[in-house]
Amino acid sequence: MKSEIIVVTGLPRSGTSLMMQILNAGKVEILQDGKRESDISNLEGYFELEAVKGIVSDNSFLKDAIGKAVKVVSPLPVYLDPKLNYRFIFMRRDIEEILLSQEKMLNKNQVSEREKFRTIYEFHLKKTYRFIRENNFPFIDVNYNELMSSPEVEIEKVMKFSAIENSIDELISVVNPELYRNRNEQ
Amino acid sequence: MKEKKRKVLLVGWDAADWQVIDKLMANGLMPAFKSVVDRGVRGRLATLDPPLSPMLWTSMATGVRPYKHGISGFVENDGSGGVRPITSYSRKVNAFWNIFTKEGLKSNVVGWWPSNPVETINGVMVSNRFQQEKVGKDTVDLKDWKIEPGTIHPENFVEKLEEFRIHPSEITGNLVMPFVPRALELDKKEDKRLTVIAKFLAHSGSLHAVTTELLETTEWDITAVYHDALDHFCHGFMKFHPPKMEGMEQEAYELFKDVVTGAYVYHDMMLARLLSIIDDDTTIIICSDHGFHSDHLRPTKIPQVPSGPAVEHAPFGVFVAAGPGIKKGEHVHGASILDVTPTLLTLFDLPIGRDMDGKPLMDIYETPKACKYIESWENDERFGGELVINEKPDESTNAAALQQLIDLGYIDDVQIKEGENNEAVQINYLNDVLRENNFYMAKAYANGHKFDEALEILLEIEKRDKPDIRYLIEIVTAAIKTKRFPLAEEYITFIRKNKLAQENFLDVLDGKVQLGLNNPTKALMFLERAVENYPESAGILVDLGKILNTLNESEKAKKIFKAALTIDPQNVYAQHGFGLACMRLQDYETALEYFLNATEQYYHYPLAHMHLGETLALMKEYEMAKSSFEVVVAIAPTLPKAYRWLQDLNEITGDDEKANYYKSIIGKFELGERTIITGLPGGKLIEVMEQIVSKGQTIYGAKDMFGKNLNVLKPDWIKDISEDIVYVPIGMLGSLPVKFSYKILFVNDTIDSVSNFMNIENKKKAKTYNPKLLESLSIQSQKSKIWMSQQPNLDIIYLNSLEEIQEELFKLFVS
């Protein structure tokens, strides 16, 4: 596990920040720079690394990520150096909820482009999965909706996958039902 | 006796078109070309979309589609914030000259587009910049004209070959006169058209001179030369070519009507010279990447968009081959520009890469020849030549070549308005150019039937604040092809709302979308309206015909396809559609004729071969049917239906070994067998279903008589249904996914019974009679029976009375 990088991936607004908080609570070292501060959309912070945004032209930050967890939203994982070792935690969330959540965050009504974004995200997910499968990297899918409704099952899966030895309760406390907010909104 | 050495001369004429050539040959104006045709084979080469020359000639030289070879459009990113004309750097795969180098064969390659910088191949390479006489927008004087680095390999040929270039200033008025006999009447300073002709002659003359020199003075196995002049001549002057186009000024017509003919004659003269050099043991191949409309299909307006002039291109180029072992006086059918390199390989008995998209044209040989294959030439690590080191060609040469592309209308020039930030404008320009290249690549994916890949690119490059209707239309088309109908509908709504295209035009697309969304009546309404607005568009008629075929309106479909064929007799889709309508009407003789026409013209058309095979099978011509289905599995190996037919036909003809072989393949595709119940909606159908349920079987959709809850748009939709039997209304039988086998229980009922049922459903009085509705149901029932009889994956049992469900046969069938 020490030679591996835990990559938390998924579409933006699929619970990737929440997963980073869970890993943080599980004492997994996080590679982040704290540049993106918490806001109304992510009260507990984003746990992001600015350098990830430039991964297309420069993925040298990966050498600092070994033995740590880093958030790389889909489809950027395809630009990871395939020679390194990774374990992927793939956050999944109902696409309708993701679209609504993004619209809310951007304060933008994108009803007229919803099919466009739905299709783009479908491609992003496919691309990321293809990269993971073609390189035989271990991965788990974590369903955001199930994580919120029955955190025990999903968190146990994450703990096993990420070799976290804390008590499960500490991690469950991270899952704040208040955050599960965008569903049924609109 | 020592076998004579095989030599090949490959001559590429951009945009050469049979329609013009045949007329000129008939009038004795192209004797050299005719001599090759007479002693060899001829055929049409299907082009690719987009029909842009650097992409096409690279496909020709590699045997693969653009998304594999990497050449996209006319320009590329120069890596330092600008664009440059497309170079060899962008090509990702071996061209034939690399393969021949690996095999120790010597190649001379002249003027291929793109081939700058040249590669260190075994032989001589002269790039497409060789004849360039400009620096930026300025023409260099003859005395200062130098060969730029990266233009010629090997280096020691530079001094010798540069002398063969002809500068446009060396083209005197006398040389232009054959093209424009009344040239003296024109003001040369005011009218640039004579200068342009001089330039085309100088460029092609330079390439011709260097080719003849290499043919005569070097040792070679293959010599390949590419001329772009015909394409340029045609873009400039085809509008003046006879017959006179409507609206063309008489004076201009009289002045320039001979230019295109002159250009062809000039090329024929160059060809005559080449033929005089080569010996009888040399195989000659002449080909073009696309044709050029020279008749009523000439566009009256050129769209003001990048690559707009490409609308003048016709979809088929020429192919002629003659030489030892090549058939004489025969036609080659179904060839594509992708087939040139695989065919060249077979001439030298070299294997074809399985990753090549083209196929070898084995029909050209007098005696059948075995074809060898390897996985890929890309895995062959032997030296095939490398690019001469010249990562950044001279900027001034770049600018000149760019200017050439701008002049020809292939790319836009950068426009800096007063007060604008120069750097920002340059960045935007670069982004726009690269966006356009991505668009071409998306089109190439779509042309290779990789619509998901196309859509992925298109959705990324589409900008709502800077909409480009070409991109939007391509998105709608790809969305339709991938059955993403809501996405297509979203874009059509956007286009309509922003008035980006004519409503009439959108009707065509909306028709397809509505059909996909299972609204056939709405679809028909859109398409009929479109035909009303564009009665002379064969394409729209074909779309309407296709919908009518889908709706099993075969008589109407026939009429519409006939109208399309009156406008465009060569339209393969109309031929196929007409054939399909005839097949549905059980007129197999006529269907056969039309399917044969379609496949003869466009070999890579799996559906036409499939329907040809089905027609032959229905005519009990089993062996011929098998051959057709074998073609289908060869060109479209993912269509399970063809394997199913091959299994059935081999069983019928007693070839168990083959039948088992195809059965094993079907096993890989097939998702299993399902039982379907169908029939006219009415009392008997309901009673039968109730009886079946009472015996412990489950039926999906038994209460949904009109199939409102069946999601037939979802791929393999039936997979999600777990009930023993599925009720499918007769009108939806055509939506049964092909990956399953089916047992179909068809309940026959009387019209009276159906009428009663409909009255109850619609809360109408008993005995109310709606003759139109009942007639339509009756026709639907007949059509579905014909359709079922023509499918290979169905076993059908017809049930006439309720008692029959007690019979053993029925029990066996349903269990």
CATH topology of domain B672-814: Rossmann fold (3.40.50)
Distances (CA, A) of B61 to A159, B219, B338, B370: 55, 21, 8, 22
DSSP for B541-556 reads: HHHHHHHHHHTT-HHH
What ranges do the domains of chain B cover? 8-401, 422-664, 672-814
**Which tops the pLDDT comparison, B190 or B327?**
B327
Shortest CA gap B479–chain A (Å) = 10
Shortest CA gap B527–chain A (Å) = 24
**Cα nearest neighbour of B457 on chain A:** A120
- Indicate the pLDDT class of residue A137, thresholds 50, 70 and 90: very high
pLDDT of the residue at B184: 83
**Six-digit token pair at B275?**
């033929």
**Which tops the pLDDT comparison, A141 or B767?**
A141
Give first-to-last CA distance, chain A, whole Å. Answer: 42
For residue A182, being part of any structural domain is answered with no
Integer Cα distance of B547 and B560 in angstroms: 11
- Indicate whether B209 pLDDT > 90: yes
Question: B119-138, pLDDT tens digit by residue?
Answer: 999 999 999 999 988 766 67
Size of interface A-B (CB pairs under 8 A): 29
pLDDT of the residue at B291: 96
Question: B661-688, pLDDT tens digit by residue?
Answer: 998 888 777 677 889 999 888 888 888 8
pLDDT of the residue at B399: 62
Integer Cα distance of B63 and B638 in angstroms: 21
**Which tops the pLDDT comparison, B110 or B514?**
B110
Domain range for A65 is: 4-177
Q: Touching check for B493 and chain A: CB below 8 Å?
A: yes
For residue A110, being part of any structural domain is answered with yes
Least reliable range by pLDDT among B267-281, B478-492, B557-571, B732-746: B732-746
Contact across the interface for A115 and B464, Cβ inside 8 Å: no
Query: Is the alpha carbon torsion for B784, B790, B793, B794 positive or negative?
Result: positive
Average pLDDT over residues A14-36: 88
pLDDT of the residue at A180: 46
Which residues in chain A have their CB less than 8 angstroms from residue B452's CB?
123
For residue A162, being part of any structural domain is answered with yes
The H or E element that residue A168 is part of is: helix A168-172
Which residues in chain A have their CB less than 8 angstroms from residue B455's CB?
119, 123
- Indicate whether B612 pLDDT > 50: yes
Give first-to-last CA distance, chain B, whole Å. Answer: 72
Which residues in chain A have their CB less than 8 angstroms from residue B462's CB?
116
Least reliable range by pLDDT among B9-13, B28-32, B79-83, B642-646: B79-83
Q: Which of A112, A114, A119 sits opposite B459 (nearest CB)?
A: A119
For residue A186, being part of any structural domain is answered with no
| Chain position carrying tokens 């109850």 | B760
pLDDT of the residue at A186: 36
**Domain B8-401 superfamily per CATH:** Alkaline Phosphatase, subunit A (3.40.720.10)
Least reliable range by pLDDT among B300-314, B623-637, B793-807: B793-807
pLDDT of the residue at A182: 43
**Cα nearest neighbour of A116 on chain B:** B487
Which range, B64-78, B170-184, B261-275, B623-637, is most confident?
A: B261-275
Q: Which residues 132-171 of B are in CB contact (within 8 Å) with A? A: none
ipTM score of the complex?
0.82
> Which percentage of chain A shows pLDDT scores above 70?
87
Question: B434-448, pLDDT tens digit by residue?
Answer: 889 999 999 999 999
User: b/e map of B739-756 (b: 16 or more CB within 10 Å)?
Assistant: bbbbbbbbbebebebbbb
pLDDT of the residue at B316: 94
pLDDT of the residue at B278: 96
Count CA atoms closer than 13 A to B481's CA, side-chain side.
17
Which residue type does B251 have?
A: E
Longest C-alpha distance within chain B, in Å? 101
For residue A185, being part of any structural domain is answered with no
User: What pairing do the DSSP bridges indicate for beta strands B107-110 and B373-374?
Assistant: unpaired
Distances (CA, A) of A25 to A167, A175, B120: 10, 11, 60
pLDDT of the residue at B203: 95
Question: B240-256, pLDDT tens digit by residue?
Answer: 999 999 999 999 999 99
For residue A15, being part of any structural domain is answered with yes
**Which tops the pLDDT comparison, B305 or B723?**
B723
Shortest CA gap A120–chain B (Å) = 7
Q: B775: exposed, middle or buried (C-beta count within 10 Å: 0-12, 13-18, 19+)? A: exposed
Integer Cα distance of A161 and A142 in angstroms: 11
Least reliable range by pLDDT among A170-184, B140-154, B622-636: A170-184
Best probe of the B interface among A95, A115, A120, A126, by most B CBs < 10 A, is A115
Q: Touching check for A120 and chain B: CB below 8 Å?
A: yes
- Indicate whether B85 pLDDT > 80: yes
CATH code, domain carrying A167: 3.40.50.300
pLDDT of the residue at B548: 87
pLDDT of the residue at B256: 95
Integer Cα distance of B607 and B378 in angstroms: 32
Query: Is the alpha carbon torsion for B253, B254, B255, B260 positive or negative?
Result: positive
> Which percentage of chain B shows pLDDT scores above 70?
91
pLDDT of the residue at B292: 96
For chain A, the domain total comes to 1
Could you confirm whether domain B422-664 is CATH 3.60.20.10? no
Average pLDDT over residues B84-97: 93
- Indicate whether B89 pLDDT > 50: yes
Shortest CA gap B701–chain A (Å) = 28
Integer Cα distance of B18 and B33 in angstroms: 11
Q: B418: exposed, middle or buried (C-beta count within 10 Å: 0-12, 13-18, 19+)? A: exposed
Mean pLDDT over the full length of chain B: 88
Average pLDDT over residues B502-511: 85
Question: A88-107, pLDDT tens digit by residue?
Answer: 999 999 998 998 888 888 77
- Indicate the pLDDT class of residue A37, thresholds 50, 70 and 90: low
Contact status, residue B124 vs residue B230, Cβ threshold 8 Å: no
Of A20, A10, A172, A8, the closest CA to residue A101 belongs to A10
Shortest CA gap B476–chain A (Å) = 11
Q: pTM for this structure?
A: 0.77
Integer Cα distance of B443 and B475 in angstroms: 10
DSSP B480: H
Contact across the interface for B459 and A123, Cβ inside 8 Å: yes
User: What pairing do the DSSP bridges indicate for beta strands B152-153 and B222-227?
Assistant: unpaired
- Indicate whether B389 pLDDT > 70: no
pLDDT of the residue at B722: 87
Shortest CA gap A55–chain B (Å) = 18
**Six-digit token pair at B500?**
């980006």
- Indicate whether B425 pLDDT > 90: no
**Cα nearest neighbour of B488 on chain A:** A115
